[in-house]
């Protein structure tokens, strides 16, 4: 974790990079049960932690970063001169760690809020979209970026459950339609939330979404 912080890799939170979760360490270092190792290191004061879960989640989603005490201990073990690591700030904009498909759904909803559609299904609120319309925007995005992104059927409902999006049903779009149409839009909380992006050797200068 010391190397992550000094190289400027990992997640960026509270003004600094170098944050990582247990899954990141298990994938990169092939460490078994990294979560337990991280908890022990946190109790020793070698690393610090921050909750990267969505607002008001029932359980925290911890990510970790080297602390000053840990950097000192590591320098001693390596028989190297101690060089301080920049500490995280106390504030910063809210950010959360979410699966890529949920991030794609969030980005589509955010785009819809910033680019009103041609059809206004809710009077005075043109940001409402169907799941299909949000998917079509991701397809259009892929034509420009070359990166194909999708969201799963339950991702939009997951965002609604977490208070990051809103849903409502409106009458059928066509006169012969029998079923109400389910629409979605991003919530105020969701619009303010940014997702954490992993910065690695090939993309450490990339920004968060």
Specify if 200 maps to a domain.
no
Q: Are 48 and 42 in contact, with CB atoms under 8 Å apart?
A: yes
Same domain? 48 vs 106: no
Q: Are 207 and 94 in contact, with CB atoms under 8 Å apart?
A: no
Q: Are 2 and 85 in contact, with CB atoms under 8 Å apart?
A: yes
- Residue ranges in the chain whose pLDDT is less than 50: 204-209
Q: Are 207 and 197 in contact, with CB atoms under 8 Å apart?
A: yes
Specify if 198 maps to a domain.
no
Q: Are 195 and 155 in contact, with CB atoms under 8 Å apart?
A: no
Cα dihedral across residues 200, 202, 203, 205: positive or negative:
positive
Q: Angle 81-84-87 (CA atoms, 0-180°, nearest 5)?
A: 165
Same domain? 120 vs 54: no
* Domains identified in the chain, total number: 2
Identify the domain containing residue 144 by its residue range: 100-192
Same domain? 73 vs 6: yes
pLDDT averaged over every residue in the chain: 89
Please give the pLDDT value at position 96: 95
Same domain? 86 vs 104: no
Pairwise CA distance, residues 19 & 148, whole Å? 27
Specify if 137 maps to a domain.
yes
Please give the pLDDT value at position 123: 84
CATH number of 123's domain = 1.10.10
């Amino acid at each position: 974790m010391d190397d992550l912080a000094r190289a400027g890799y990992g997640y960026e939170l509270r003004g600094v990079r170098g944050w990582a979760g247990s899954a990141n360490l298990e994938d990169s270092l092939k460490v078994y049960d990294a979560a337990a190792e991280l908890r022990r290191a946190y109790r020793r004061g070698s690393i610090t932690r921050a909750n990267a879960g969505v607002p008001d989640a029932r359980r925290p989603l911890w990510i970790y970063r080297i602390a000053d005490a840990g950097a000192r201990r590591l320098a001693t073990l390596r028989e190297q001169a101690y060089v301080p690591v920049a500490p995280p700030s106390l504030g910063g904009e809210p950010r959360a760690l979410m699966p890529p498909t949920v991030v794609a759904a969030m980005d589509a909803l955010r785009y819809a809020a910033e680019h009103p559609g041609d059809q206004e299904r809710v009077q005075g609120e043109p940001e409402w979209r169907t799941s299909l319309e949000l998917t079509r925007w991701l397809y259009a995005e892929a034509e420009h970026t070359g990166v194909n992104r999708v969201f799963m059927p339950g991702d939009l409902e997951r965002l609604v459950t977490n208070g990051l999006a809103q849903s409502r049903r409106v009458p059928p779009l066509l006169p012969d339609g029998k079923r109400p149409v389910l629409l979605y839009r991003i919530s105020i909380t969701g619009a303010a939330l940014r997702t954490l992006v992993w910065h690695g050797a090939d993309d450490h200068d990339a920004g968060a979404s």
